[in-house]
Structure 1
Amino acid sequence: MTSTGKPDQQAQPTGRPPHSLRTVFPVLALCWLAVFFDGMDVTMYGAVMPHLLDDTGLGLTSSTAGTIGSWTTFGMLIGALVTGNLTDWLGRRPLLIGSVALFSLGSALCAVAETATLFGAGRFVAGLGLGGLMPLCLAMILEFAPPGRAALTTGLLMTSYHAGGMVATALGMTVAPAWGWRWVFWAGVLPALIATPLLLKLLPESPGVLHAWGKQSQAAQVAGRYGLPAPGAAQTPAGGAQGRWSTVLALFRPEVRWATPLLWLASFSGLLLVYGVSTWLPQLMRAAGYGLTSSVSFLLVINAGGIVGMLIAGRAADRFGAVRISALWFVLTAAGALLLKADLPMAVMYAVVAVTGVWLFSAQVMVYAATGAVYQGSERAAGLGWVTGVGRTGAVFGPWLGGALAAHGNESWGFPAFAAAGLLGAVAIALVPLATRLGGTSHRGGDRAAAVPPSTALSDA
């Protein structure tokens, strides 16, 4: 692979199928299924929140609910950091399968919980698996993505998150009122029964990881099957504990030392929005005077908007650059969050919620696409792990903030707080190209071939 992130034509095996979305569809479909259940598990907590608060036997208050939401995302933070740094050692495939099994176990614990403490423990366990899954799937998709289609492939993958969110919302609207909220969490056990066997049988291992393990023939076989160029040094993570530490240190090499914290800040803002809104939108709308059913249905609508947004953002980012689209989407999210505070007719409010969903979720996903362009192949899994992991602090803060505002009767401040997060994310991601240019021009005498030129890489994302 060349320094611009384009496949090295001379390194490609002969007789391989064309590298297109069609050839990598099996990997995309399997990761899509895994992320579908991720979105379902994350969203079901917000979808049943009103029922959890109404269940006096569980003993959940608005403040405790916000804290448990933060426990979930704290587990995600740990899961993302651990898997992001172990995946090049243990492999993408076993860790991804283990992540699915882990968040299914967490849902089962929630379904049988009789106390808020045990329920919170279940959400923490689920968070460990959920946090590990996302950077693994993103790393797989970016490795298998066709040239010039990284953002579109990422967007297609993330439509599954919102499809899962819509299913969870539908369960919250139908199953929870009829049979109780516990049955919604029992549905969260399905990934272990459906996705795990398929992943075990069909998901390939990363060619770069196989190459790092010394399995060159197997790496070439997997690469040829999916139309990928044969993995080389740039796509191969260094082996051993020293190699894993070197990969982390590479996130602060001169060319990207300032871009890395900016990506973390953008991810913090984006995940604060994603998890804050997913957890508290029904309750905030209920506090604004909307009925229970309509309040939960807003969660369904915003996730539907998220699916549309992923398709729009992916195509736009492949044409104009992931950074530009992410920054614009963050600004539009801020505007939408402020409109959600307004007293609007029901039909207009549904439209505002849907359009806000178009921008909100894909703003964060384009941060991931930009991350894949900033770091070279051998650093990408660790880079994504740290961007998603550090960003999870925003996912911890978002649900806690919503709970704190609700506990003090200040729900009306929720949407302005989300708007501020959108503006912060826009500024952070917009500065990434400048940071990489400054890092590149200030670096003298280093290995320039190891760096991804920001002007090409970020526009290709």
Structure 2
Amino acid sequence: MSRSLTPPAPRPPHTLRTVFPVLALCWLAVFFDGMDVNIYGAVMPHMLDDTGLGLTPDSAGTIGSWTTFGMLIGALTAGNLTDWLGRRLMLVASVSLFSAGSALCAVAGDVALFGAGRFVSGLGLGGLMPLCLAMVLEFAPPRRAALTTGLLMTSYHFGGMAATGLGLTLAPAAGWRWVFWAGVLPALIAVPLLLRLLPESPGVLLARGERDKADAVADRFGLPRPTEVAAPAAGAAGRLAAVRELFRPESRWATPLLWLASFCGLLLVYGISTWLPQMMRASGYGLNSSVSFLLVINAGGIVGLLIAGRVADRFGAVRVSAIWFVLTAAGALLLKAHLPLGVTYVVVAVTGVWLFSAQVMVYAATNTVYRDSERAAGLGWVTGVGRTGAVVGPWLIGELAASGNESWGFTTFALAGLGGALAICLVPAARRFGRGGTKAPAPVAASAGS
């Protein structure tokens, strides 16, 4: 008799403790994601000083956009490949791809080859984040969705701090190329662990017709056994249907607002991760201080995520994201002024508290808009469309830097913060408008936002 016809086996309670193995493995993968994304910004001042490479502020911004353009493609295609490979193998492929891109950057002799390496890295990076977020949200207790998302995303900032540490120590001593060789470590460390220890998504297993395996994984981690309603759609036709579901009456207006908020948030995240050291250097700060600002803002990001996750579980991810965006805008305007070094460190750290978690709470807010079966598609498109902001941010600041107007970058960041706040603020009203002002059953993780 099929297991699906038998009563569920005794399973552990569905708590943060039961999700810990999945959270820990995804945390490691996102740690290396954050390291790879921030490596470029951490070593850019050294690369601009390397006349043999031929990098200029203009081409540096273009290459930053190549990276994020690769992320856009990776984020939008990862869902379709997941149908064939599953989320676990797609995570392995993503880590392997951005490690290979880092190796290509390390051996590049000119700007074109270096840019190709960053594009390859972007393909892997783009697929990794939505996959890890979808995995953790699937395994997390519904009432701890925002907290679990925040805990996961602390790893991005620990990775950013590791990249900055490499930029401060390894780059001056051995050259910027060795920092990119360090970017090959994910393939050697994370890939074997993911292959051996990470479970497959029960929803994906069910969508592929593997009911017994799906139930076994759910029972092992204390999850409810997946149903056909909760399973993501499979195949190209299923993916198209899933995208159409994002525009059903209840979410047709909320979806573009989430996309806009994600665009603004990722413009901030990747614009600052790529250009903050060079912008601060152009403002008159020393090379080591300018690079160390990247370390400080990521440290602030870790604190912010730990605060935002707990606050959002109580007051709602939408409300927290909006306030955090406004505070980010205020911090960006303060950084435009040349303050004393100690004060600047404090402003950078506090801005980091708000900046990164504002974007992460946009992800957490998707649980208030989309049903279980729409979660992966909704999150994938929020991150994917948002990647256009990640493309625009580095390119736009690069254009400003090439014309000697780096300081206008801080104004750009402030405007992006205000735009993100407005967009995410309108999401609850858009949901009410979409369903005609009537109450509808809340999504499973409604306590995480709205």
TM range (shorter): over 0.9
Please report how far the alpha carbon of residue 88 of structure 1 lies from its aligned counterpart in structure 2 after TM superposition: 4.2
For residues 85 and 328 of structure 1, what CA distance do their matches in structure 2 show?
Answer: 35
The reply to whether residue 161 of structure 1 matches residue 156 of structure 2 is yes
- 2:251 counterpart of 1:256: yes
Q: 1:452 to 1:246 in 2, by over 3 A?
A: farther
SS of the equivalent of 2:407 reads: helix
Confirm whether residue 54 of structure 1 aligns to residue 49 of structure 2. yes
Cα shift readout 1:108-132 (whole Å, capped 9, x = no counterpart): 0000000000000000000000000
Please report how far the alpha carbon of residue 222 of structure 1 lies from its aligned counterpart in structure 2 after TM superposition. Answer: 0.3
One-letter code aligned to 2:442: P
Distance apart, 1:13 and its partner CA: 3.4
Mapped partners of 1:383, 1:221: distance in 2: 26
CA contact (8 A) 1:163 1:307 kept: yes
Counterpart amino acid of 2:41? G
Partner of residue 71 from structure 2, selected from 69, 76, 90: 76
Contact 2:158 2:299 in 1 (8 A): yes
**Post-superposition offset of 1:379:** 1.2
TM-score, scaled to structure 2 = 0.96
Q: In structure 1, what is the Cα distance between the partners aligned to 2:79 and 2:236?
A: 14
Establish whether residue 316 from structure 1 lines up as the match of residue 304 from structure 2.
no
Matching residue's letter, 1:187: A
Gaps of 5+ in 1: 1-10
Task: Please name the residue that 2:442 is paired with.
Answer: 453
1:264 partner SS: helix
In structure 2, the residue corresponding to 1:111 is in which secondary structure? Answer: helix
Name the structure 1 match of 2:132: 137
Q: Please provide the CA RMSD for this pair.
A: 1.5
Asked whether 1:362 is paired with 2:362, we answer no
Tell me how far 1:239 sits from its aligned partner: 3.0
1:84-99 equivalent positions in 2, closer than 5 A = 84-99=79-94
Aligned residues: 444
**1:438 matched to 2:433:** yes
In the other structure, the counterpart of 1:7 is none
For the pair 1:170 / 2:165, whether they are aligned, the reply is yes
Per the TM alignment, residue 196 of structure 1 is displaced from its structure 2 partner at its CA by: 0.2
Q: Distance in 2 between the 1:326 and 1:13 partners? A: 38
Counterpart pick for 2:332 among 337, 350, 356: 337
Equivalent residue, structure 2, for 1:385: 380
Contact 1:433/1:458 (<8 A) preserved: no
Distance 1:114 1:321, change over 3 A: same
Q: Secondary structure at the residue paired with 1:253?
A: coil
* 1:84–1:386 CA contact under 8 A, matched in 2: no
Contact 1:48 1:176 in 2 (8 A): yes
Matched-pair identity in %? 77
Amino acid at match of 1:460: A
User: Please, which moves more after superposition, 76-85 or 306-315?
Assistant: 76-85
The answer to whether the aligner puts 1:148 opposite 2:143 as a matched pair is: yes
For the Cα contact (< 8 Å) 2:264–2:416, is it kept in 1?
Answer: yes
Structure 1 CA distance, aligned partners of 2:423 and 2:64?
25
Unaligned runs of 5+ in 2: 1-5
Q: Where does residue 409 of structure 1 map in the other structure?
A: 404
Q: 1:325 to 1:86 in 2, by over 3 A?
A: same
1:375 equivalent in alignment to 2:370 = yes
Shift of the alpha carbon at 1:442? 6.9
Q: Distance in 2 between matches of 1:408 and 1:395?
A: 21
C-alpha distance in 1 between matches for 2:446 and 2:205: 27
Q: Distance in 2 between matches of 1:182 and 1:147?
A: 44
Shift of 1:215: 1.2
Matched ranges for 1:25-64 at <5 A: 25-64=20-59
Tell me which amino acid in the other structure corresponds to 1:243. Answer: G
1:207 aligns with 2:195: no
Residue type of the alignment partner of 1:287: A
Q: 1:240: Cα distance to partner?
A: 3.1
Secondary structure of the residue aligned to 1:73 is helix
Per the alignment, in what secondary structure is the counterpart of residue 228 of structure 1? coil
Shift of 1:102: 0.3
| CA contact 2:80–2:236 (8 Å) conserved in 1 | no
Q: Does the 8 Å contact 2:367/2:448 carry over to 1?
A: no
